[in-house]
């Protein structure tokens, strides 16, 4: 019984270390685009064309079977559920966004680096950030400016951009 317990503890510790390591990794494709920090900016979708959203949805759909999928994209959708903030490490505002009838993404917006977005269920948002695969549809994160000047994202809600 003791060797099984030791093995279980080692596996759990390894999984915890891996999760911690991944949490503190910068997003892929940093691209070097520097953005100045901003709480919110009046805008009208910042040059993103409505025709681009179906392409983003198609790419996310294609990534459903690729656990290594990780890329920058811009999507639009409806807020379908507000979740409790993640308060471990960097604090994140969390909500679910339906971008297609068969795709719902978790949005994890860092509220240590950006202003909380006053989203409500049923609200339409446009999000630019890094998509990362998970077995529930995926996560959009890095939806804020990057304090180190690398590529950053944003969330638009009611014609306000939150970076």
Instruction: Tokens for 157, please give them.
Output: 């809600």
**More confident call, 136 vs 51:** 136
Nearest by Cα to 71 from 90, 86, 87, 58: 58
Q: Could you tell me which residues come within 8 angstroms of residue 33 by beta carbon, excluding any fewer than 6 positions away?
A: 150, 151, 152
In eight-state DSSP terms, residue 45 is: G
In CATH, the architecture of 2-162 is: Beta Barrel (2.40)
Q: What is the per-residue DSSP string for 87-129?
A: -SSS-EEEEEEEEETTEEEEEEEETTTSPPP---TT-EEEEEE
Residue 133, classed as helix, strand or coil, is coil
Sign of CA dihedral 46, 136, 134, 17: positive
Q: What is the pLDDT of residues 109-126, one digit of tens each?
A: 999 999 999 999 999 999
Q: What is the pLDDT at residue 99? A: 95
The answer, yes or no, to whether residue 5 has pLDDT greater than 70, is no
Query: What are the extents of the domains in the chain?
Result: 2-162
Q: What is the pLDDT at residue 27? A: 47
First vs last Cα of the chain: how many Å apart? 52
Segment 34-61 mean pLDDT: 56
Element housing 12 (H / E): helix 2-23
Segment 62-91 mean pLDDT: 93
The answer, yes or no, to whether residue 38 has pLDDT greater than 70, is no
Residue 20, classed as helix, strand or coil, is helix
- The mean predicted confidence, pLDDT, of the chain is 78
Instruction: Tokens for 119, please give them.
Output: 């989203």
**More confident call, 51 vs 157:** 157
- Bridge partners, residue 157, by sequence: 125, 160
Sign of CA dihedral 46, 47, 53, 56: negative
Give the model's confidence band at 31: pLDDT under 50 very low, under 70 low, under 90 confident, else very high.
very low
């Amino acid at each position: 019984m003791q060797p099984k317990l030791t093995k279980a503890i080692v596996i759990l510790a390894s999984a915890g270390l891996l999760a911690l390591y991944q949490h503190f990794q910068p997003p892929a494709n940093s691209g070097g685009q520097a953005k100045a920090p901003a709480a919110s900016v009046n805008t009208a979708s910042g040059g993103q064309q409505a025709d681009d959203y179906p392409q983003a949805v198609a790419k996310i759909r294609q990534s459903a079977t690729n656990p290594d999928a990780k890329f920058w994209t811009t999507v639009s959708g409806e807020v379908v559920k507000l979740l409790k903030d993640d308060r471990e490490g960097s604090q994140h505002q969390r909500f679910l966004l339906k971008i297609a009838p068969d795709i719902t993404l978790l949005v994890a917006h860092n509220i240590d680096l950006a202003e909380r977005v006053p989203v409500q269920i049923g609200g339409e948002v446009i999000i630019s950030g890094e998509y990362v695969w998970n077995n529930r549809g995926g996560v959009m994160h890095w939806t804020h400016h990057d304090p180190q000047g690398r590529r950053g994202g944003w969330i638009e809600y009611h014609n306000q951009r939150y970076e």
